[in-house]
Amino acid sequence: MKKIILWTIGSLIIISGLWWTKEKFFNTVRPQTITQDGFRANYFKRGNEAGKTAIIILGGGPYGDFWGSEFANAGHVGLSLPYYRAEGLPDKIEEIPFEYVEKAIDWLKSQPEVNPDKIIVMGGSTSAELALLISSTLPDKIKGVIALCPSSVSWSNTVFPWSSDEIKAKWTFKGQPIPYIAMEKIKGNSTDKIETLSYWNTGLDDTLQVSQAVIKVEKINGPILLITPIDDKVWPSLRMSDMITKRLKDNDFRFEYKNIKYENAGHGIMFQLNKSVTEEKGQMKIGDKVYEFDYGGTPTGNLAGQVDSREKIMEFVNKLK
């Protein structure tokens, strides 16, 4: 049995390595840096054909650039859009205006290669929260959502140890805060490890706050793809994705939606394929102390989930061609 597991891991790593080498050296799409119209992003396209589907990858950075290149190679366009911790942007995820993303959408609509009726948003974890929120708030401008490790609610800024101590909304629209679950900051302990899953579940157990902060996904004007790692130990992706699908079903959502679940996969399933998936742990600084926390999953489960979810994401986007 042990040999079979080792052989499976080895095979997946070899396949991923060959794929990464091909993408790295033969299919690289150089981005165009956009610093106009009130936002900054990296724009990926291959060719000038009109009518392409455009995917905004919220969060930007290496993750967004990876997917932007992927989508461009598949015949679409990608916009890797950071919204904090980049030049000219906030240092913290606090009171981020939806209008910032809206400016990027409006810019995309004006590009000759983009079909203005085929703009979708994509994000993982907190950026998945933003993707679902903004697409339900701006249904006339966004026609589909891809959410990895999704959230069913909006959370306060204080879920991050590095945020301000004052509890605030993460997001705003037209100057008003988006309703959220107010969370006290996570507390440290006497060990070198921190367990985060129970922290988020405590918030979800507050039914009154959940009712106020729930994302109205039924307002989304297009198909939805949820990528859910069953063994996510960072936050309760499984619980929240099931909340999302239940709400869609209860409201007779008229578009297609899928919640694809992966056993033995953790929060790291959302990392790009050219990043090591053998790392199942992260670090978090609380006060003056650094703690280790688990992403969940196994190397085999995470890698298999990444490979399969990439195919499912591409299938989802290609349907919009």
Query: Which tens digits make up the pLDDT trace of 68-123?
Result: 999 999 999 999 999 999 999 999 999 999 999 999 999 999 999 999 999 999 99
Residue 24: inside a domain: no
pLDDT the model gives residue 172: 98
Torsion of the alpha carbons at 133, 261, 62 and 90, rounded to the nearest 10: 30
pLDDT at residue 272, rounded to an integer: 72
Q: How many domains does the chain have?
A: 1
Specify the pTM. Answer: 0.90
Domain interval for residue 35: 30-318
Identify whether 287 is part of a domain. Answer: yes
- For residue 89, being part of any structural domain is answered with yes
Percent of residues in the chain assigned helix, strand, coil, to nearest 5: 40, 25, 40
List the end-to-end C-alpha distance of the chain, in Å, as a whole number: 44
- Is 2 part of any domain? no
Q: Which two tokens stand for residue 230?
A: 């069953």
At 1 the pLDDT is 53
Predicted confidence band at 320 (pLDDT cuts at 50, 70, 90)?
confident
Can you tell me whether residue 19 is helix, strand or coil? helix
Query: How many percent of the chain have pLDDT more than 90?
Result: 84
- Judge whether 26 and 92 are in contact, CB under 8 Å: no
Residue 207 has pLDDT above 90, yes or no: yes
Residue 214 lies in a domain: yes
In a domain, 240, yes or no: yes
Asked if the structure places residue 296 within a domain, the reply is yes
Q: Tell me how many degrees the CA angle 98-56-32 measures, rounded to the nearest 5.
A: 110
Residues of the chain with pLDDT > 70, as a percent, come to 89
On whether residue 116 sits in a domain, the answer given is yes
At 235, which CATH number?
3.40.50.1820
